[in-house]
Amino acid sequence: MGKLSNTVFSHAEEFVQQVPLLVTSSHATINRPAITLTFAQSLDGKISLPGQQLLLSGAESMAMTHRLRSMHDGILVGIDTVICDDPQLCVRHVPASELTSVAHPQPIVLDSQLRIPLTARLLVGPQTNSRLKMPFIVTGPDHDPARRAQLEQMGARVVVVACDAGRLCLGAVVRELRQLGIMRLMVEGGARVIQAFLESQIVDLLIITIAPVLVGSSGVAAALSPLSAPI
């Protein structure tokens, strides 16, 4: 995506200022952060294609997303998103005057089996840009100790929480993140993570942007049923 205009940035700022939960108290508790769930979807409710990236965000929604990122302490995705999209989970699309001072959120990956590639930009980026943060990688108790050692040697923080039927317990995840200092948490996906948070009923704010396109039956919906695969 090319350079965004100041008008686009202004519209993004105006939007977030109209959302009370973003500009008032954090709504965090002693047990969990305040949680914002946000994603883009097509007119027919699809957020991606199987195993590949689907770009649904225009200039305005991209600017809004990055403004939201700057207002949260942590940004969380699932391991499938990391493998498919190789995201940076930082703040880039803001006015040029803010680029050198904006606070980047803490990247957080739900990865019950420690599948994150050692070449992922989340791991490589902070090695060349000191303003970026090494990720928290949340995994289950049955992870590979050797893989954990590799990740920790690179600088990542591996956080172990309980699992239920092979899936990370979101209650345990958010409690641990709160203890690690995350007061505001932004959840971006993918589909299994989105559904898990919706089912958990711990989301304080839901923001959905809708792209004027139809993806069709091959697309992956934001809500899957049943939720059985690990995250």
Tens of pLDDT along 27-66? Answer: 778 889 999 999 988 888 888 778 766 777 677 777 888 8
> What is the distance between the alpha carbons of residues 6 and 94, in angstroms, rounded to a whole number?
9
> What is the distance between the alpha carbons of residues 84 and 69, in angstroms, rounded to a whole number?
20
Which helix (H) or strand (E) element contains residue 220? strand 220-221
Is pLDDT larger for residue 171 or for residue 221? 171
Instruction: Mean pLDDT check: name the lowest of 40-54, 118-132, 133-147, 193-207.
Output: 40-54
Helix (H, G, I), strand (E, B) or coil at 224: coil
> What is the distance between the alpha carbons of residues 91 and 69, in angstroms, rounded to a whole number?
6
Kindly indicate the confidence band of residue 222, based on its pLDDT and cuts at 50, 70 and 90: confident
Q: What is the mean pLDDT of residues 162-181?
A: 94
Kindly indicate the confidence band of residue 231, based on its pLDDT and cuts at 50, 70 and 90: low
R_g of the chain computed on alpha carbons: 17
Peptide bond into 155 cis (omega under 30): no
Cα separation values, 73 from 35, 146, 147, 148, 223, Å = 10, 29, 27, 24, 26
pTM across the whole model? 0.87
